[in-house]
């Protein structure tokens, strides 16, 4: 993969060829990782994501009519739509962009047409939120170009609504928030109920974050995601009978969930218990970050994985295998599955000098067990969505 600076030049060249002019603006929209706090966002709980150096770059300029012409450089596809003709596209990627335009229009903001070339280095299907990067990057660009007056938080919420409503994926707010609000060398502790957020230092001088991509995406992922959401809502409904102030699972403690175990279907109890414990884990893990104790932090990652595997049941054999491989490895501080589950990546904190050996070992073991080539991505925590100059 070419360096991003070179890649931005490449996009510029495509823009000039395609549209015979210069772009007015270059924007980078990063993907995200999540260190802890999985499946807590839609329960109003705490998450701990960060934006990373896997990103989408946008070269964009206004048009003085209602036409939007877009080129997706990575896949060598183009798509044109009118601002008053937002019809779902079987190509997939245009829907994230049209979703943003749709939400702007619903908010009675009127961007004009535009010409756009975008592309980047976020691996497809790895669960690094290329969708949030697309939504946030376009919202940021149109907000700037058309002076729409949206705040950063407005753009986060707009991106999430685009995904929920136009794309039809019922995600929480974590991915868009991380893509927009990321900060270099920090993780964001986001309270998904109040949307209050705080940055915690994540210094990785001696360590490197490595994502191991299973290369699988089991098809039951989407339906199980929705099932988990409704199991959590069922749990809230039961707890509410005893404490009407409980609106979301984040309002309940693990003790309260335990106290009402007998009133809950077994699976609902398991889900509620995991979520309340996971929220508490994020709180404790942030204390470790303040002390720069990545060893203790890493143990929390293993606890999260166990919860996701056995109680929330969103892992899969490939993810469990990759996490198990690290358990006896004293160059790894922590590992767990990351994101919605049923495939995608594990996230690992690995000693920097042992990183190459780690990748070699993991790749060989995975190849032997599943006959799939393991892709590993070392990632750096960066700032969130912003304009760039080259």
Residues lying near ligand GAF in the complex (CB under 6 A): 38-39, 41-42, 171-172, 174-175, 339-340
Taking the complex as a whole, the smallest distance from the CB of residue 126 to ligand GAF amounts, in Å, to 11
Helix (H, G, I), strand (E, B) or coil at 195: coil
What is Dmax (Cα atoms) for the chain? 68
Taking the least distance from each CB to ligand GAF, the nearer of 117 and 132 is: 132
> Of the candidates 153, 170, 150, 217, which has an alpha carbon nearest to the alpha carbon of residue 41?
170
CB of 344 to ligand GAF, least distance (A): 9
- Cβ-based nearer residue to ligand GAF, 68 or 100: 100
| H-helix segments, 26-129 | 93-106
Instruction: State in angstroms the smallest separation of the CB of 200 from ligand GAF.
Output: 18
- Min dist. Cβ of residue 236 to ligand GAF (A): 16
Closest to ligand GAF by CB, 44 vs 111, is 44
Rounded Cα–Cα distance for residues 155 and 162 (Å): 10
User: Of 73 and 231, which CB lies nearer to ligand GAF in the complex structure?
Assistant: 231
Look up residue 271 and give its two tokens. Answer: 């889900």
Closest distance of CB 62 from ligand GAF, Å: 31
Tell me whether residue 115 or residue 131 sits nearer to ligand GAF (CB atom).
131
Euclidean distance between CA atoms 113 and 12, whole angstroms: 19
- The number of CA neighbours under 13 Å toward the Cβ of 28 is 24
Burial of 31 (0-12, 13-18, 19+ CB in 10 A): buried
The residues carrying an active-site annotation are 175
27 contacts: CB under 8 Å, gap ≥ 6: 57, 58, 60, 137, 140, 141, 144, 385, 386, 387, 388
């Amino acid at each position: 993969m070419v360096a991003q600076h070179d890649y931005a030049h490449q996009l510029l060249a495509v823009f000039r060829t395609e549209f015979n002019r210069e772009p007015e603006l270059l924007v980078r929209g990063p993907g995200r990782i999540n260190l802890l706090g999985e499946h807590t966002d839609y329960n109003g709980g705490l998450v701990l994501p960060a934006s990373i150096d896997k990103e989408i770059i946008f070269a964009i300029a206004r048009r003085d009519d209602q036409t939007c012409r877009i080129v997706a450089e990575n896949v060598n596809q183009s798509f044109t739509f009118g601002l008053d003709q937002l019809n779902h596209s079987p190509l997939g990627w245009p829907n994230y962009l049209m979703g943003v335009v749709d939400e702007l229009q619903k908010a009675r903001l009127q961007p004009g047409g535009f010409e756009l070339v975008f592309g980047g280095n976020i691996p497809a299907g790895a669960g690094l939120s290329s969708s949030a990067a697309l939504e946030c990057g376009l919202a940021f660009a149109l907000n700037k170009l058309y002076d729409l007056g949206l705040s950063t938080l407005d753009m986060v919420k707009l991106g999430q609504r685009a995904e929920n409503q136009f794309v039809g994926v019922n995600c929480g707010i974590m991915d868009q928030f991380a893509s927009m609000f990321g900060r270099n060398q920090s993780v964001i502790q986001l309270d998904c109920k109040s949307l209050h957020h705080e940055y915690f230092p994540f210094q990785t001088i001696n360590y490197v974050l490595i994502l191991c991509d299973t290369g699988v995406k089991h098809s039951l992922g989407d339906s199980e995601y929705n099932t988990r959401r409704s199991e959590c809502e069922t749990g809230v409904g039961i707890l509410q009978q005893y404490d009407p102030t409980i609106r979301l699972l984040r309002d309940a403690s693990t003790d309260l969930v335990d106290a009402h175990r007998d009133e809950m279907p077994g699976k609902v109890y398991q889900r509620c218990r995991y979520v309340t414990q996971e929220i508490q884990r994020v709180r404790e893990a942030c204390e470790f970050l303040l002390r720069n104790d990545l060893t203790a932090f890493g143990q929390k990652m293993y606890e999260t994985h166990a919860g996701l595997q056995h109680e929330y049941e969103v892992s899969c054999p490939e993810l469990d295998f990759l996490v198990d491989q690290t358990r006896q490895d004293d160059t790894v501080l922590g590992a767990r599955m990351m994101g919605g589950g049923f495939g995608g990546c594990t996230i690992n904190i690995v000693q920097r000098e042992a990183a190459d050996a780690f990748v070699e070992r993991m790749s060989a073991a995975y190849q032997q067990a599943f006959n799939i080539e393991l892709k590993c991505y070392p990632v750096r925590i960066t700032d969130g969505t912003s304009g760039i100059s080259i």
